[in-house]
C-alpha cells in the first residue's frame, strides 16, 4: 500500500500512532498507520531542530514529501515543540492518535523492555535518573507534556538500550568489583531502535555475522550474530565508545582523575566537557558537522583532517575487532547521517580490511528508521502480539 498524500482524505484512517524521538536539542516525530501485520507508514513526519537556540526551526512534511509547516523561530523547549506538533496534527490530520510512542534512551537496569507507561513506570524512571541525568529528566518532561496534550491515548516507552539485552555478560560486565555490576553499572549499549530497524528491514537477507555502524552526531557500532546483539561500543552511557560529534567516547580513566585533581573540575564540568566540548568539535577546534569538516579538508585544514581521520580510524578499529569476535563477516551496514551520506568516512573506515574478509559486496547503506520501529513496537504492545 502506498503512503497517503496529504491531498487525500484522511478521515477514514484510524488507530494512528504518534511517535516522539527526542534528542538533546531536537524532536523528531511522525504519525503512523498500519499497512500490514508488521509494518507502518507515516501520514506526516517532521522535526524541530535547534530547540532553545536562536536557530530553531520546525519542519513538518506529508508522506509524499509536501511541506506542511515550515517555521523559523525559537522553540524554547521540547514541550513547546510538541505543542506546535499537536497544532499541526489537529489542522492537517483531524484525528487524535490512539497511542504515543516515546523513545527513552535509558531506563537503568530494571527497565529493559518496551512497555506501557504507567504511574509505576514513571516512578521507576525517576528513581533511575542518576543513570542518565542528561536524558531521563528530559524524557519525563516530554512524557508529561504528551500525556497532557493527548490524555485519551495510550503512551508507551521504547527503550534505546533494550536491543542489547542479549549481550552476554562477557560484553556487559565492566572490570569493576561485583557490587558495582549489581548496582547497575554495566555496559548497556544504545542506538538499539536504529539497529532493530535494520534487522527488520533486512529480514531474511540478514546473514549470520553482521556489523552495524550507526554513525551520526552520536555514533556507535554493534556486532550481531543471527540478528542478535552480542557486543556494542557505547557503554554505561551514550558518551562511551568511539569519538562522536561533541562526545569524547572512551578515555583513559586517568585523564578524568587528572582533570579532577589538577583542573579542579566538578562532576558537572566533566559532564559538559565530555558530552558537549569533545569529539570532532574539540579535534577540529570548533566544528562537529562532518559535511562542514570535509569542506575544510578540501581547503587544506589540518585540524579538520585530523578530526575526520581519528573518527574514521576509530570506526575501522572496531570493525576489525568485531570481525575477530564474530569469526568473520558476512555484512557491514552503515546507517545514520554520516554513515548514509559520507562516502569519505565509509571508505576510510573500511580501508585495509579486505585482508579480514570485508569485500565491497558485503557493504550496504541502509537508512535508519527509528520512528517507524517505535510505531511497530507500539502496535505490537497495543494488540498483544509482542
Give every CB contact of residue 384 below 8 A, 6+ residues apart in sequence. none
230: DSSP letter: E
Return d(Cα 341, Cα 225) in angstroms, integer: 26
Q: Which three cell numbers stand for residue 75?
A: 522553540
Paired with 98 in beta bridges are none
Q: CB neighbours of 9 closer than 8 A, spacing ≥ 6?
A: none
Cα-atom radius of gyration of the chain, to the nearest Å? 21
DSSP string, 304-331: HHHHHHHHHHHHHHHHHHHHHHHTS-SE
Alpha-carbon separation of residue 342 from 74, 211, 322, 382 (angstroms): 30, 18, 22, 38
Report the alpha-carbon distance of residue 174 to residue 239 in Å, rounded. Answer: 15
- Output the nine-digit C-alpha cell for 209: 555475522
Q: How far is CA 377 from its chain centroid?
A: 16
Q: Catalytic: 160?
A: yes
User: Annotated catalytic residue: which of 113, 123, 160, 268?
Assistant: 160
SS3 content of the chain, % helix, strand, coil (to 5): 40, 20, 35
Q: Name the residues annotated as catalytic.
A: 160
Amino acid at each position: 500500500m502506498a503512503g497517503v498524500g496529504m491531498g487525500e482524505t484522511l478521515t477514514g484512517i484510524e488507530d494512528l500512532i504518534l511517535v516522539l524521538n527526542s534528542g538533546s536539542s531536537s524532536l523528531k516525530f511522525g504519525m503512523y498507520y498500519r499497512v500490514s501485520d508488521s509494518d507502518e507508514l507515516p501520514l506526516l513526519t517532521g522535526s524541530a531542530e535547534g530547540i532553545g537556540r536562536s536557530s530553531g526551526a520546525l519542519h513538518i512534511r506529508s508522506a509524499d514529501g509536501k511541506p506542511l509547516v515550515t517555521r523559523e523561530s525559537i522553540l524554547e523547549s521540547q514541550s513547546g515543540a510538541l505543542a506546535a506538533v499537536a497544532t499541526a496534527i489537529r489542522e492537517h490530520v483531524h484525528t487524535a492518535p490512539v497511542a504515543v510512542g516515546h523513545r527513552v534512551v535509558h531506563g537503568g537496569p530494571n527497565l529493559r523492555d518496551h512497555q506501557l507507561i504507567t504511574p509505576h513506570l514513571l516512578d521507576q524512571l525517576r528513581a533511575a535518573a542518576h543513570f542518565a541525568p542528561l536524558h531521563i529528566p528530559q524524557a519525563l518532561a516530554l512524557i508529561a507534556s504528551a500525556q497532557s496534550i493527548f490524555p485519551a491515548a495510550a503512551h508507551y516507552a521504547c527503550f534505546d538500550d533494550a536491543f542489547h539485552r542479549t549481550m552476554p555478560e562477557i560484553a556487559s560486565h565492566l572490570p569493576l568489583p561485583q557490587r558495582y555490576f549489581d548496582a547497575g553499572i554495566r555496559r548497556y549499549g544504545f542506538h538499539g531502535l536504529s539497529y532493530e530497524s535494520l534487522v527488520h528491514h533486512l529480514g531474511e537477507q540478514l546473514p549470520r555475522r553482521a556489523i552495524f555502524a550507526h554513525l551520526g552526531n552520536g555514533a556507535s557500532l554493534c556486532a550481531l550474530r543471527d540478528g542478535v546483539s552480542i557486543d556494542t561500543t557505547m557503554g554505561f552511557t551514550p558518551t562511551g565508545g568511539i569519538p562522536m560529534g561533541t562526545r569524547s567516547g572512551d578515555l583513559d580513566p586517568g585523564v578524568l582523575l587528572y582533570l579532577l585533581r589538577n583542573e579542579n573540575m566538578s562532576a558537572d564540568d566533566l559532564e559538559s566537557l565530555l558530552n558537549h566540548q569533545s569529539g570532532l568539535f574539540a579535534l577540529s577546534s570548533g566544528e562537529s558537522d562532518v559535511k562542514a569538516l570535509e569542506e575544510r579538508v578540501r581547503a587544506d585544514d589540518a585540524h579538520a583532517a585530523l578530526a575526520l581521520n581519528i573518527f574514521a580510524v576509530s570506526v575501522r578499529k572496531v570493525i576489525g575487532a568485531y570481525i575477530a569476535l564474530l569469526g568473520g563477516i558476512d555484512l557491514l551496514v552503515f546507517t545514520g547521517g554520516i554513515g548514509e551520506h559520507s562516502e569519505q568516512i565509509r571508505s576510510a573506515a573500511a580501508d585495509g580490511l579486505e585482508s579480514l574478509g570485508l569485500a565491497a559486496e558485503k557493504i550496504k547503506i541502509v537508512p535508519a528508521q527509528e520512528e517507524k520501529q517505535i510505531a511497530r513496537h507500539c502496535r505490537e504492545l497495543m494488540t498483544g502480539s509482542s
